[in-house]
A and B are shown apart, each in its own frame.
Chain A
Amino acid sequence: MEKLEILEGRKKQVYEKTKDAATFDIKCETTSLSGSVSQRACVFCGSRVVLYPVADALHVVHGPIGCAAYTWDIRGAVSSGPELHRLSFSTDLQEIDVIYGGEKKLYKSLIELIDQYQPKAAFIYSTCIIGLIGDDIDAVCKKASEETEIPVLPVHSEGFKGTKKDGYKAACDALMKIVGTGSTDGIGKYSINILGEFNLAGEAWIIKDYYEQMGIEVVSTMTGDGRIDDIRRSHGASLNIVQCSGSMVKLAKMMEEKYGIPYLRVSYFGIEDMSKALYDVAEHFKDNPSILDAAKKLVSREVGELYPQLLDIRQALAGKKAAIYVGGAFKAFSLIKALATLGMDVVLAGSQTGNKDDYTGLKEMCDEGTVIVDDSNPVELSKFILEKEADLLIGGVKERPIAYKLGVGFCDHNHERKIPLAGFVGMLNFAKEVYQSVMSPVWQFAPRKGGL
């Protein structure tokens, strides 16, 4: 196939691990080049995906209709009760509002909505033009909150004010205003909050169940099947467990500073990381050895069940090649380990929002010849997938059809996953999904490697 060029300004965001490449200085945490066909989203997107699974809150998007329309129920974040979060509420700003301001409209919307739905709290997302037209959403929220006696929280998520990560921060700021407003009565010593788990396909339930089996009390799952009343009292927990590299570390840090709650960073993908997530918590509560005993028992039981089932799959997949392009780099670490469990080689690893530490970590983990990319685009992804002869791409909605057009298997490790991939059971699901996609007979009709 013809040689594809990398944009001049992008060369520093692409790195190939070779023997000679002594210096590693990948450029990241920058804004995307103008004119790039980037796979990234915006600040608003970051806030929206993090807060969305709080199911008994109102989520009102203040802006023109699009931002609300495109984020209407696109994330499979499951709720065990209320499903208010799956509706789409928008102030649907019109030209006249842009000229005269949208504050009155927002205020009216809030009063109408809160009156009708009686939510536990309301999150108000500001979109690109809100700051520009001069709306003071803080003041509107304050007024609405006083009148309705529920927390009405502004989320400062103007799309252009940074990257998706800044949206995570805005979401954490909003959550922090709820934390600490409830009673901590009855919360025991061996208690945790689960942060950065969004309950896609019910994953938070699996994780929560593991910890409960170890005798640990889960005070709040925050943003996975989230409930306002739980978040209010979450400062009563002894420990925060944080998954997902970018999104919730900020909240954990704020809670550490204000309430002295330490936090652990974990991942629930793959046998290794899942086990570690349990053992690390047991280690934290080491004054109670029964927790560690329970963890050991749980891990041994689950792995014992899982491992024999993985062996056949591993035999079929051994030596197959995988490409990874995900939102946060932390997820890529787990995926590399999980793919190694399946005997697969990673030939491309990249993320939309990784930082220097993340990429250094990725470099350490990867074999020679692996390409590492930050904020990539379809041209680069196609180029490396074909050049490196990948059999599988792991990514999100925009990457899926690219893989299929290239005749390569695909696994969605983002919003559109249909089955839980977290936990021990998730590892088996992941293995099965990768196996089904990579080994599908359809590829025999779909010429790979540019039709050769």
Chain B
Amino acid sequence: MLLRHTKKEVMEREALTINPAKTCQPIGAMYAALGINGCLPHSHGSQGCCSYHRSTLTRHYKEPVMAATSSFTEGASVFGGQANLVTAINNIFSVYEPDLIAVHSTCLSETIGDDLQQIVTKAKDDGKIPEGKKVIYAPTPSFVGSHVTGYANMVTAMAEQFAENTGEKLDQINIIAGWMEPADMREIKRLAKELGATIKLFPDTSDVLDAPQTGKHVFYPKGGITMSGLKSTGDSKSTISLGCFTAEPAAIALDKKCKVQFKSEDIPVGLRATDRFLMRLAKAARVKIPESVTDERGRLLDIMTDMEQYFHGRKVALFGDPDDLIPLTEFLVDLNMKPVHIVSGTPGKRFEQRMRDILSDSVPDANIKNGPQADIYLLHQWIKNESVDLLIGNTYGKYIARDEDIPFVRYGFPIIDRIGHSYFPSVGYMGGIRLAEKILDVLMDRQDRDAPEESFELVM
């Protein structure tokens, strides 16, 4: 009983987070930056931050993750980190030869007051940024928001610091990817192609964090949106952002800078969110949804109806990031499941509002909490008070799943004890089929395990 220390009585905690359902901003910025072709993410802070983020991303993707650090020392913390960052920029371009560097800050550099914009301008003025290369920057103080915020801030920086409105509209639609897996980004591109819509997807970590084995360690894998691609987003006809926490801020910035209008959608997880996304894309690109995609939808729906009896009434506890949980909860409700406990460490009022809307008919009194002290410890306490049939969340859910003997589906970030998440999409109709399969697998395995011999069923 690893979590034997969890007490059943829920007491109001003021000052403490136990077993967090979030982490800090910079890792989100680092992940987003890896979605630009030829980009080296750079952590402006202590060496440990960069090391921890790389290790966590490596554990999640089983891939090498390259990123540089300013390697702060005591001197830097007294005199400011400008010299470190300018030296770093110089060293990186001369040795690692990226097309661009994406700098994010840390709690340390934010607290000592380093101004990334000013430092990058200085590096440029000093001739440290070679012709045709670029340095973008995003402030990501670790004491604000969460990793979700950091991702949003870096994607916003991409829009603000790359997009250009040349006055000539291009026949393309921007799709701003909320925090999703490389497989999901690949699936979005595939669906757009099926529809015949020309899109610019950013960031795009497919072919970066799911790179094939070639016998080489490639510093900059072939995937990611190119710098020219990012620049052209300012001339696109319109933008669809996927995820109101991780993608919408960039869409707003792009609209503000280049007058590219946007529509905010959810990450297309489940039937309805995928419907909305595809209809939005079809309308924006003036294309029709082809029969092949309609058939995919039909197959997902077929599984939902065929297996309805195994889903209905099952209670679910879930934790993770807002943009993942919102469409997932909607999907679970459509499957006639009951999401009763929902936790996200990421703050933001829209989360609870959306959740209450989605659950208003089916589970109006669900336990929902996000922000400080909304942690996995609280979720466990809730489960102790009202048990569930299924737990959905990142790898850290395995402690609860084991101690409380609850079927568990891994979903979210990080997943450091299984593979699959970076290869098989959760988005689109095919992603819905995969999620339904994963949920059914654990529920039916449990039924098989627990069934008395006389009612152990061959056909299910």
Binding site for B on A (CB under 8 A): 1, 5, 7, 9, 31-45, 63-72, 83-84, 86-95, 97-98, 104-106, 108-109, 112-113, 116-117, 127-129, 132-133, 159-163, 378-379, 382, 397-398, 400-402, 404-407, 446-452
List, sorted by A's number, 27 A–B pairs whose CB atoms are closer than 8 Å. A33-B91, A34-B71, A34-B88, A36-B71, A37-B40, A42-B47, A43-B48, A45-B51, A64-B24, A67-B52, A87-B18, A88-B18, A89-B18, A97-B143, A106-B15, A109-B16, A112-B15, A127-B107, A128-B46, A128-B111, A132-B77, A132-B112, A159-B47, A160-B73, A406-B215, A407-B215, A450-B216
Q: How far is the CA of A448 from the CA of B216 in the complex (A)?
A: 8
Choose from B26, B69, B214 the contact partner of A405 (Cβ within 8 Å). B214
Q: How far is the CA of A34 from the CA of B96 in the complex (A)?
A: 13
B18: which A residues are within 8 A, CB to CB?
Answer: 87-90
A interface footprint on B60-75 (CB within 8 Å = 1, 0 otherwise): 0011111111111110
Whether B217 and A65, one on each chain, are in contact in the complex, defined by CB atoms closer than 8 angstroms, is no
Choose from B91, B143, B396 the contact partner of A9 (Cβ within 8 Å). B91
The A-contacting residues of B in range 35-62, CB under 8 angstroms, are 40, 42, 45-56, 58-59, 62
B142: which A residues are within 8 A, CB to CB?
Answer: 63-66
B141: which A residues are within 8 A, CB to CB?
Answer: 64, 95
Whether A405 and B216, one on each chain, are in contact in the complex, defined by CB atoms closer than 8 angstroms, is yes
Q: How far is the CA of A86 from the CA of B49 in the complex (A)?
A: 21
Choose from B143, B216, B217 the contact partner of A93 (Cβ within 8 Å). B143
> Shortest CB–CB separation between residue A398 and chain B, in angstroms?
6
A43: which B residues are within 8 A, CB to CB?
Answer: 46, 48
The A-contacting residues of B in range 205-257, CB under 8 angstroms, are 211, 213-219
Whether A70 and B345, one on each chain, are in contact in the complex, defined by CB atoms closer than 8 angstroms, is no
> Shortest CB–CB separation between residue A109 and chain B, in angstroms?
4
| CB of B284 within 8 Å of the partner chain | no
| CB of B2 within 8 Å of the partner chain | yes
| CB of B372 within 8 Å of the partner chain | yes
Q: How far is the CA of A70 from the CA of B42 in the complex (A)?
A: 18
Binding site for A on B (CB under 8 A): 2-5, 7, 13-20, 22-27, 40, 42, 45-56, 58-59, 62-74, 76-77, 84-85, 87-92, 95-96, 106-108, 111-112, 141-144, 146, 211, 213-219, 345, 372-373, 377, 396
Q: How far is the CA of A452 from the CA of B87 in the complex (A)?
A: 37
> Shortest CB–CB separation between residue A152 and chain B, in angstroms?
15
B65: which A residues are within 8 A, CB to CB?
Answer: 398
A129: which B residues are within 8 A, CB to CB?
Answer: 107-108, 111, 143
Choose from A35, A66, A106, A448 the contact partner of B24 (Cβ within 8 Å). A66
Q: How far is the CA of A371 from the CA of B152 in the complex (A)?
A: 43
4 more A-B residue pairs beyond the given contacts A64-B107, A66-B23, A129-B143, with a C-beta to C-beta distance below 8 A: A35-B88, A41-B52, A90-B20, A159-B108
Known: A133-B111, A379-B96. A451 touches B22 (CB 8 A): no
Whether A32 and B71, one on each chain, are in contact in the complex, defined by CB atoms closer than 8 angstroms, is yes
A69: which B residues are within 8 A, CB to CB?
Answer: 20, 22-24
Q: How far is the CA of A97 from the CA of B141 in the complex (A)?
A: 13
Q: How far is the CA of A98 from the CA of B51 in the complex (A)?
A: 24
Q: How far is the CA of A129 from the CA of B18 in the complex (A)?
A: 20
Which of A36, A88, A113 is most buried by chain B, counting CB atoms within 10 A of its CB?
Answer: A36
Known: A66-B27, A117-B5, A379-B96. A132 touches B16 (CB 8 A): no
Whether B214 and A35, one on each chain, are in contact in the complex, defined by CB atoms closer than 8 angstroms, is no
B63: which A residues are within 8 A, CB to CB?
Answer: 401, 405
Q: How far is the CA of A420 from the CA of B451 in the complex (A)?
A: 38
B77: which A residues are within 8 A, CB to CB?
Answer: 132, 160
Known: A5-B95, A160-B108, A401-B63. A449 touches B215 (CB 8 A): yes
Known: A129-B111, A402-B64. A94 touches B372 (CB 8 A): yes
Q: How far is the CA of A37 from the CA of B69 in the complex (A)?
A: 7
Whether B68 and A65, one on each chain, are in contact in the complex, defined by CB atoms closer than 8 angstroms, is no
B27: which A residues are within 8 A, CB to CB?
Answer: 66
Q: Is the interface of A mostly helix, strand, loop or mixed?
A: loop
Q: Is the interface of B mostly helix, strand, loop or mixed?
A: loop
A89: which B residues are within 8 A, CB to CB?
Answer: 16-18
Choose from A108, A446, A447 the contact partner of B16 (Cβ within 8 Å). A108
> Shortest CB–CB separation between residue B348 and chain A, in angstroms?
14
> Shortest CB–CB separation between residue A101 and chain B, in angstroms?
12
Whether A7 and B23, one on each chain, are in contact in the complex, defined by CB atoms closer than 8 angstroms, is no
> Shortest CB–CB separation between residue A103 and chain B, in angstroms?
11
> Shortest CB–CB separation between residue A36 and chain B, in angstroms?
6
Whether B46 and A159, one on each chain, are in contact in the complex, defined by CB atoms closer than 8 angstroms, is yes
Choose from B45, B84, B143 the contact partner of A98 (Cβ within 8 Å). B143
> Shortest CB–CB separation between residue B146 and chain A, in angstroms?
7
Q: How far is the CA of A9 from the CA of B372 in the complex (A)?
A: 43
Q: How far is the CA of A443 from the CA of B62 in the complex (A)?
A: 17
Known: A64-B107, A97-B143, A160-B77. A398 touches B55 (CB 8 A): yes
Known: A7-B91, A65-B23, A378-B66. A161 touches B74 (CB 8 A): yes
Q: How far is the CA of A166 from the CA of B92 in the complex (A)?
A: 27
A86: which B residues are within 8 A, CB to CB?
Answer: 2
Known: A33-B71, A39-B51, A66-B24. A379 touches B219 (CB 8 A): yes
Whether B215 and A447, one on each chain, are in contact in the complex, defined by CB atoms closer than 8 angstroms, is yes
Residue of A nearest to B1 (CB): A83
Q: How far is the CA of A349 from the CA of B42 in the complex (A)?
A: 27
> Shortest CB–CB separation between residue B39 and chain A, in angstroms?
13
Residue of A nearest to B144 (CB): A95
> Shortest CB–CB separation between residue A344 and chain B, in angstroms?
21
> Shortest CB–CB separation between residue A203 and chain B, in angstroms?
20
A66: which B residues are within 8 A, CB to CB?
Answer: 23-27, 49, 52, 107, 142
> Shortest CB–CB separation between residue B288 and chain A, in angstroms?
42
Known: A87-B5, A128-B106, A401-B58. A65 touches B87 (CB 8 A): no
B25: which A residues are within 8 A, CB to CB?
Answer: 66
Which of A37, A402, A404 is most buried by chain B, counting CB atoms within 10 A of its CB?
Answer: A37
A-B pairs, top 7 by smallest CB distance, nearest first, are A42-B48, A66-B24, A35-B88, A35-B91, A447-B215, A159-B46, A64-B142
B95: which A residues are within 8 A, CB to CB?
Answer: 5, 7, 35, 379
> Shortest CB–CB separation between residue B156 and chain A, in angstroms?
18
Whether B54 and A398, one on each chain, are in contact in the complex, defined by CB atoms closer than 8 angstroms, is yes
Q: How far is the CA of A34 from the CA of B86 in the complex (A)?
A: 9
Whether A116 and B111, one on each chain, are in contact in the complex, defined by CB atoms closer than 8 angstroms, is no
Whether A70 and B56, one on each chain, are in contact in the complex, defined by CB atoms closer than 8 angstroms, is yes
Which of B18, B68, B90 is most buried by chain A, counting CB atoms within 10 A of its CB?
Answer: B18
Q: How far is the CA of A7 from the CA of B84 in the complex (A)?
A: 16
Whether A65 and B215, one on each chain, are in contact in the complex, defined by CB atoms closer than 8 angstroms, is no
Known: A45-B48, A66-B26, A84-B5. A94 touches B143 (CB 8 A): yes
B373: which A residues are within 8 A, CB to CB?
Answer: 92
Whether B23 and A35, one on each chain, are in contact in the complex, defined by CB atoms closer than 8 angstroms, is no
Whether B7 and A116, one on each chain, are in contact in the complex, defined by CB atoms closer than 8 angstroms, is yes
A34: which B residues are within 8 A, CB to CB?
Answer: 69-71, 84-85, 87-88, 91
A72: which B residues are within 8 A, CB to CB?
Answer: 19-20, 396
Choose from A83, A133, A446 the contact partner of B215 (Cβ within 8 Å). A446
Q: How far is the CA of A106 from the CA of B15 in the complex (A)?
A: 7
B58: which A residues are within 8 A, CB to CB?
Answer: 397-398, 400-401
